[in-house]
Structure 1
Amino acid sequence: MRTTALGGSTVPVTELAFGAAAIGNLFRPVTDEAAAATVDAAWDAGVRAFDTAPHYGLGLSERRLGAALRGRPRDTYVVSTKVGRLLAPQDTDGDDLANGFAVPATHRRLWDFSADGVLRSLEASLDRLGLDRVDIALLHDPDDHAEQAFQEAYPALERLRDEGVVGAIGVGMNHAPLLARFLRDTDIDLVLLAGRYTLLEQEGSAEVLREAVARGRSVVVGGVFNSGLLTDPRPGATYDYLPAPQPVLERALRLKSVTERHGVPLRAAALLFPLGHPAVASVLTGARSADEVRDTVAMLRQPVPAGLWDELRAEGLLPHDMPVPAPSEESP
């Protein structure tokens, strides 16, 4: 699997990265055995970049990912985690489904983008992961804490990178204008852009991608299926985790019609599309089962003819100047 070094760093990521939110019981439970098998399937497919966060399952994602990677040579894979939320123990009989995770609410999340909060968060993450280091540290969703993130959290990450504690630093969120500001005003290596550079929509990401190219930084793209809409567009399908508005659903159905005329599943075109941009180093997708991983890898390897992208442009579904992947031959 193709690898790319992130921004100005030496940290390599595979073109497909594994997002570990789902094995943190995102929306519904996953067994320990299924979580381990899911990571194993990603490894067997050549994936060597793994992303997690304390937020995912109140630490469950980090614990399961660390356990699944344990025993593999540490210099053969890359792990990213995030800072900005500390986990504080609490006594409750409830669950965490209000935050999207089917786990007991044993902890509560505390926003903290202070320098001390960064250090405490990383220390706790290393303990849950069972690792001596993470390769990438990302500010996680600093939307409502931008100034503290710029003034306190970012300098702390920069110092950790300078000291060699982490290899690369960045920001992960779906708010494109703030990501563009981080690219302009700091020396981050990468941004993780979620759900805003997809086959369905690209308008909000133009500035981010332009700044990344101009400054030699990298973009990791998450949310390429727009909350599942681009896997199976139909009435009731979700977009941004809510039922898709009718105009958005209609656009997704038009995309599906074009891709299927070329013998390409919509989800394959959605997965491959971001990799055509020179700023994009990797596409990050989640999975909760080994079968889901294997399907994603099959879509990554799906041949896509140039005519598909040409027809999407002709139909007004892609801008004419939008980069697309190099054409590959039709399936036999």
Structure 2
Amino acid sequence: MKRARLADGLDVTAIGLGTAPLGGLFSAVSEADAEATIERAWSLGVRFFDTAPLYGFGLAERRLGSFLRQQKRDSFAISTKVGRLLRPATASGEDDHYKGAPALRPQFDFSYDGVMRSVEESLTRLGLDRVDVLLVHDPDDHYDAAVSGAFRALMRLRDDGTVKAIGSGMNQSEMLARFAEAVPLDCFLLAGRYTLLDQGALTALFPICRAKNIGILLGGIYNSGILANPHTGAKFNYEDADAALVSRALELDALCRKHGTELKAAAVQFCMAHPAVTVAVQGARTAAEVSDNIAMAELPVPQAFWQELRGRKLVDANAPLPGGA
């Protein structure tokens, strides 16, 4: 699989496996299916894996680690996140998003000491002695604490060689752009803000990242599912999509069908065409979904599709398209 440079001394595969679904996002996943999903990704050449304490409240980290610690440590790269500590739940019932997760709940903590505890707890769940990338996770309402506490801890870990790359993972681009100007970072995980439906990162964030050589791990390529299967009730940004978004997704799907291709293929290849994007991080809950995700990156999408997409102004006029359409 094609590889790309994410940071000094860190080359990663251009497609990565995101593990939120393996933590039971929206529906529970069995241990057997989780293991088969990771094994399929590995067999198809994926060597970059993204996880977080939030995903299934530790379940995704544990499942990913049980597979990766059987592999040679230098044969893969892994990212996890800080900013949430998992503590016993104070109330019964499942989280709205994660099904089949343990009785733990995340507590925000972007302090220096909280980040150090988070890293140690993640390593314990993973069963690994190190991770390659650490990302400050969703500090939307905690900018100052992230800069003064979390990033200070991450810079120390990078400086002493404990990790190779540091950054932040968010569902918005505006704060990432602020971080890029304030802190010397290596990469961002941006979820859902550069897709066929949302090019919010195009104007501000991507030019800064290009200028500062900050890599982009792009998640949420299907916008939580609507670009994989557009229909009433489809998810966008983890919630039910409104009627206008469903209508736009259906219009994109119809255009793909007109040109004999798949909406998922167009969605992935649109994202990967931007030079700021280093890795397409795609979640999967079954081995079949992994195979499909990787196939979509290679499925032919006619130039006529991209030309009509541009001509009908269905994406930002400044968004680069495959083949220079």
So what's the TM-score if we normalise by structure 2? 0.96
Letter in 2 for 1:277: H
Distance change >3 Å, CA 255–CA 90, structure 1 → 2: closer
Aligned to 1:188: 185
Q: Which residue of 1 aligns with 2:5?
A: 5
Distance 1:231 1:158 in 2: 37
Unpaired stretches in structure 2, ≥5 consecutive residues: none
Displacement, 1:164?
0.3
Residue 242 of structure 2 corresponds to residue 245 of structure 1? yes
SS of the residue 1:274 aligns to: helix
1:133 equivalent to 2:130? Answer: yes
Please point out which of 80, 94, 97 is paired with 1:96: 94
Partner of 1:221: 218
Letter in 1 for 2:23: G
Q: Name the residue aligned to 1:198.
A: 195
Paired with 1:152 and 1:70, the residues of 2 have a C-alpha distance of 30
Instruction: Quote how far apart the aligned CAs of 1:217 are.
Output: 1.1
Residue 109, structure 1, aligned to residue 106, structure 2: yes
TM-score (norm 1): 0.94
Q: Does 1:290 align with 2:290?
A: no
In structure 1, the residue matched to 2:252 is: 255
Q: CA deviation at 1:322?
A: 1.4
Shift of 1:321: 2.6
Partner residue of 1:172? 169
Q: Identify the range of structure 1 (264-273 vs 21-30) with the bigger mean alpha-carbon deviation.
A: 21-30
Write the distance in 1 (CA, Å) between the matches of 2:222 and 2:308.
20
The residue aligned with 2:147 is 150
Is the aligned partner of 1:78 residue 2:81? no
Q: Report the 3-state secondary structure (helix = DSSP H, G, I; strand = E; otherwise coil) of the residue aligned with 1:126.
A: helix
1:305 and 1:327 in contact (8 A); partners too:
no
Post-superposition offset of 1:237: 1.8
Inter-CA distance 42–259: structure 2 relative to 1 (3 Å threshold): same
Q: Is the 8 Å Cα contact of residues 95 and 105 (structure 1) preserved in structure 2?
A: no
- Say whether residues 1:118 and 2:125 are aligned partners: no
- Per-residue Cα deviation, 1:48-91 (whole angstroms, up to 9, x for no partner): 00001111111111000000112111101001000000112346
SS in 2 for 1:326: helix
Q: CA deviation at 1:9?
A: 2.5
Match in the other structure for 1:42: 41
Structure 1 contact 115–153 (Cα < 8 Å) conserved: yes
Number of residues paired by the alignment?
325
Q: State the Cα distance separating 1:31 from its structure 2 match.
A: 1.2
Q: Which residue of 1 aligns with 2:263?
A: 266
Shift of 1:24: 1.0
Which amino acid is the alignment partner of residue 28 of structure 1?
S
Tell me the secondary structure at the aligned position of residue 23 of structure 1. helix
Assess if the C-alpha contact under 8 Å between 2:23 and 2:101 holds in 1: no
Match of 1:26 in 2: 25
Q: Residues 184-240 of structure 1, C-alpha deviation per residue, up to 9 Å, x if partnerless?
A: 111110111100100112034421111111111111111111111111112222222
Letter in 1 for 2:119: L
Matched residue type, 1:61: A
CA shift for structure 1 position 327: 7.1
Question: Would you say the 8 A contact 2:202–2:319 is kept in 1?
Answer: no
Determine the C-alpha separation between the residues in 2 that align with 1:75 and 1:52.
Answer: 18
Aligned residue in 2 for 1:58: 57
**Is the CA contact (8 Å cut-off) linking 2:89 and 2:103 kept in structure 1?**
yes
Could you tell me the percent identity over the aligned residues? 46
Residue type of the partner of 2:82? V
Question: Deviation of residue 264 (structure 1)?
Answer: 1.2
Deviates more, 1:126-135 or 1:300-309: 300-309
Q: Residues of 2 paired with 1:240 and 1:110: CA distance?
A: 21
Give 1:320 shift: 3.0
Deviations 1:133-179 (A, max 9, x none): 00000000000111100111101101100100001001000121100
Contact 2:173–2:200, Cα closer than 8 Å, also in 1: no
